[in-house]
Structure 1
Amino acid sequence: MGFVKQAIAAFAASLPVFIAGSWLTWPSVALYKWQTKEYVLPFTLDESQSSWVVATMDLGNILSPVPTGYIMDKLGRKNTLLLTSLVFLASSLLTIFAQSFYWLLLARLLAGIGKGVGFTVVPMYIAEITDKEIRGTLSTMFTGHLYGGVLFSLCVGPYIQYQTLNIILGVVPLVFFITFMFIPETPYFFIIKNNDQDGARKSLEWFRGKSQSIDEELDEIVVTTNDNMKNKSGYKELVLNYSYRKALIIVLVSSFLQRLSGVSTILSYASTTLPEHHGFIGRNECLIIFSVLLVITNFACSPLVDIAGRKTLNMLSALLSSVVMLVMAAAFYWDLDYWVSYLFTSLFGITYSLGIGIIPTTLLSELFPPNVKGSAASVASIAFAMASFLINKFYKIVQINLGLYSMFLFYAICSFVHVLFTIFAIFETKGKSFQEIQNILKKREVTQSNEYILNDK
């Protein structure tokens, strides 16, 4: 029963990520409908303005994580997530009633803010409510919902009216608000806020069911959280503290390289940049296959996170993604048949979600103690957003001036760098408690301290 409730809570908490995923691929659908005059905007957009509409969501994502880290430590993880429903609803309304280019920019900015909040809070919420034995599995709910949102926009969007899609994207936040109201706050937040052990116990009993192990787990949460909260918290500590700094480097580099794998531009631009084909499988159908494979692979590989381990999956995924992008670059350089780029775009849905699409988020939820977890999540979310913004904004510029193949060659190189980084910098966290992970991060720090003592003697 405990697993079921934890799974339900993780599913409900991840709905803002589903909405964010839908808004991520909304430009791919919208740009196609605008260019084909299927929907005529009451104003005109040139190429530069269109690229800003795509990229502004990432700007909103950059702006939101820092205040989100503060808000979720004051209001709680649950209440902070509930606020995203209002942000996404406002984004939808602005899109529906847009009267100028700036209305769309504001709508995309708000969608990015909602995405930033979701990307910051959801991994932490899931990590703080789940047993360590299933933490890796349930953490894939995050990416599962993200890909589900991607799948929704790409599968449903092309076949319904433009405004119908916008209305649906306004209804889902309301469904989330009503659903998530009945899910408890995390036990960790009760201890962080007021050392409220009664509240933490009730939360644990809801997520685990009443059992003797509740007392043992509560004691561990209290001791671990209070010990960590004695340490200084904030962004400064992420840099000054050795173990925090090491964890931050692992998460930031993994997050940045994940975005530089090419997934952002495929989600946003593929419907207008893939070779056009009017047969049974066209560009829209290729994107549907890509997004379906993202979702299926994510859920099929969820158990592997806790079986094969984070490091192995990330390394294999990055290597295969590098090969796929290299073939894509060759296809665009030599202008190969349309089916080559269609096939390898679809294969990228598998290679990406096998590891590099899910592991950075899992590591974010595992590597940091409660006193700096909010700050770390904020910085990681900014890294995701900055990489996506740069790629989405300059994609068209590079395509026009250097050729499309050059972008995919760049993606291949970045994924291979991700392989090397995984081998030499990431350690395995499978099956380890938060305290065990912190002990691993502190090992070198302790060794260095001992060396200094010996040298002094």
Structure 2
Amino acid sequence: MSEKQGGSRKFLYLAVCTGNLVAFSAGIALGWSSPVLAKLTSADKLDDNPFERVISKEEESWIGSLLALGAIFGPFVAGFSADKIGRKKTLLIWCGIPFVISYLMLAFGNVVILYYIARFIAGFALGGVFTVLPNFISEIAEDEVRGAVCSSMNVFVVSGPLFSYVVGPYVPIMWFNVICAIWPAAFTVGFFLLVPESPYYLIAVNDSHGAAAALKRFRATGDTGIKKELEKIKTTVDESMRTKGSFVDIFKSRGLIKSFIISLSLVGFQQFSGINTVLFYSEQIFGAAESSIPPEISTMIVGAVQVAASFVTPLLVDRRGRKFLLLVSGVGMLISEIPLGLFFYLKDNEKNISAISWLPILCLIIYIITYNFGFGPLPWTVMAEIFPPNIKSPASTATASFCWLLGFLITKFFSSISAEIGMGGSFWLFSGFCLLAIIFVITYMIETKGRSFQEIQEILAK
């Protein structure tokens, strides 16, 4: 039978885009607090405040940070569920539906405690998305395009904050949240109706017929190619199942220990670059800068740049490799945060900064562009590539939870830290971690470009 009698790669891209609607919902949640908190903390906007009062600094910090706190716990449930009921059902039950519930609670809640609960639920779903979706996409993708389609998740994630920045300031809070709920609802319906389960999971539960049917839809090859790939998947899964792993098994193999160090380090440097602070408090940061450009407009510009920059990684990741893009990313973030810190240092010391009022937006544009070259999408892409299937679930769970624990701590205490060392000192602190990230990538990171799961494991074990 001709190799061209199979499906089309177009369906693979359709499946990835449908799945990424939940990544878009996660991105909206990341950017949600910037326009909403600007309203909830303003005495001039009480007509669009469900509490009919200005919230306190403590309430502001909890609403901003509870998303990350919920994301600590989401990976544990989603990671366990992905192996028990499948990647597809997990993304529907623990990600899509909770996002809908969260946004509807935010739309109709009129007490702070409901906002706390809703943001925690959204964080729970967010943690599940970053644990399960990269693995699902990597398992349905061909080796030749795996890096590009995995990186496409970041395009949807960063489009979410832009949506929040563009819509949030100009739409009443209630209707903004109703609109936000439409996206995870669309994901839930579309993903349920259109997208098959991961063939890796189907083989793991002895559903060879279902795995073959799924591959026929995901691949552009015919029956011969499907059979060959199915045998490869069976070999990989059988080997993994014979050595079915738990979290403690990560520390029994030199290769797995190295994988775990790489994964934790990449998400750690991602968080300590200050990204969640920028996303959650961008409008407040621009307000503090007292630029001639209105804060909401500056935030939109940064959000638009972030979306544009996110298209670069899928184009380059399978050409230039992961290490190169991570290095470019680390250097770019470093050189953007140093002058940003200097600006706020001068402002805090009452120097005349009117001549450089444009500097914060320029620095954050450079920061966002280079963040999206590497440390935005690639920690999740690499995480999906460097763990074998038998250990992927506990390793991904631990990595994602660690990431969001750091995100919660940084977001919750950013205001307190800035009060002690100044906003300038905070950005200098973030730049120091960017320098450490550059050193780590040069000295410890491996290249995974174009390599199969088996080849990557052999390199790590050396």
> Scaled by the length of structure 2, what TM-score is found?
0.93
Stretch deviating more after TM superposition (266-275 or 309-318): 266-275
| Pick aligned residue for 2:242 from 212, 223, 230 | 230
| Pick aligned residue for 1:374 from 389, 393, 401 | 393
Stretch deviating more after TM superposition (209-218 or 60-69): 209-218
| Contact 2:289 2:344 survives alignment (8 Å) | no
The code of the aligned residue for 2:88 comes to K
Alignment of structure 1 residues 87-236 onto 2, 5 Å = 87-181=98-192, 182-193=194-205, 195-211=206-222, 212-236=224-248
Residue 4 of structure 2 is matched in structure 1 by: none
| Pick aligned residue for 2:335 from 323, 346, 349 | 323
Residue 71 of structure 1 is matched in structure 2 by: 81
| Contact 1:22 1:153 survives alignment (8 Å) | yes
State how far apart, in whole Å, the 2-side matches of 1:353 and 1:40 are: 33
Correspondence 1:340 to 2:359 = yes
The code of the aligned residue for 1:197 comes to S
- Structure 2: stretches of 5+ with no match in the other structure: 1-6, 348-352
| Contact 2:271 2:406 survives alignment (8 Å) | yes
* CA deviation string 1:17-58 (max 9, x = no partner): 211111111111111112334222326521011101111111
1:218 positional shift: 0.7
Q: Secondary structure at the match of 1:306?
A: helix
1:245 positional shift: 1.5
State how far apart, in whole Å, the 2-side matches of 1:60 and 1:277 are: 33
1:300 positional shift: 2.5
The code of the aligned residue for 1:34 comes to L
The code of the aligned residue for 1:298 comes to S
| Contact 2:291 2:357 survives alignment (8 Å) | no
State how far apart, in whole Å, the 1-side matches of 2:270 and 2:431 are: 12
Correspondence 1:55 to 2:65 = yes
Correspondence 1:430 to 2:440 = no
| Pick aligned residue for 1:309 from 321, 327, 349 | 321
* CA deviation string 1:297-326 (max 9, x = no partner): 111331210000000110111011111111
Stretch deviating more after TM superposition (234-243 or 176-185): 234-243
State how far apart, in whole Å, the 1-side matches of 2:244 and 2:189 are: 37
1:352 positional shift: 0.6
Q: Secondary structure at the match of 2:446?
A: coil
| Contact 2:49 2:173 survives alignment (8 Å) | no
| Contact 2:65 2:408 survives alignment (8 Å) | yes
Q: Secondary structure at the match of 2:109?
A: coil
Correspondence 1:291 to 2:280 = no
State how far apart, in whole Å, the 1-side matches of 2:100 and 2:177 are: 10
Residue 429 of structure 2 is matched in structure 1 by: 410
Identity, in percent, stands at 31
State how far apart, in whole Å, the 2-side matches of 1:99 and 1:204 are: 48
| Contact 1:276 1:282 survives alignment (8 Å) | no
State how far apart, in whole Å, the 1-side matches of 2:386 and 2:344 are: 40
| Contact 1:309 1:428 survives alignment (8 Å) | yes
State how far apart, in whole Å, the 2-side matches of 1:293 and 1:379 are: 31
| Pick aligned residue for 2:37 from 18, 31, 42 | 31
Computed over aligned residues only, the root mean square deviation of the Cα atoms, in angstroms, reads 1.4
| Pick aligned residue for 1:364 from 366, 383, 387 | 383
Q: Secondary structure at the match of 2:144?
A: coil
The code of the aligned residue for 1:165 comes to F
State how far apart, in whole Å, the 1-side matches of 2:319 and 2:291 are: 43
* CA deviation string 1:95-134 (max 9, x = no partner): 1222322111100000001101111110001000001010
Residue 454 of structure 1 is matched in structure 2 by: none
State how far apart, in whole Å, the 1-side matches of 2:376 and 2:100 are: 27
1:383 positional shift: 1.7
Stretch deviating more after TM superposition (284-293 or 72-81): 284-293
Structure 1 residues 244 and 2, CA gap change in structure 2 (3 angstroms):
farther
Stretch deviating more after TM superposition (51-60 or 286-295): 286-295
Residue 5 of structure 1 is matched in structure 2 by: 11
State how far apart, in whole Å, the 1-side matches of 2:408 and 2:172 are: 28
Residue 49 of structure 2 is matched in structure 1 by: 40
1:149 positional shift: 0.6
| Contact 2:41 2:56 survives alignment (8 Å) | no
| Contact 1:271 1:287 survives alignment (8 Å) | yes
Residue 350 of structure 2 is matched in structure 1 by: none
1:82 positional shift: 0.9
| Contact 1:25 1:267 survives alignment (8 Å) | yes
Stretch deviating more after TM superposition (93-102 or 166-175): 93-102
Correspondence 1:21 to 2:27 = yes
Correspondence 1:242 to 2:244 = no
1:2 positional shift: 3.1
State how far apart, in whole Å, the 2-side matches of 1:58 and 1:427 are: 29
Q: Which runs of 4+ in 1 moved over 4 A?
A: 276-279
Stretch deviating more after TM superposition (419-428 or 157-166): 157-166
Q: Secondary structure at the match of 2:138?
A: helix
Residue 267 of structure 1 is matched in structure 2 by: 279
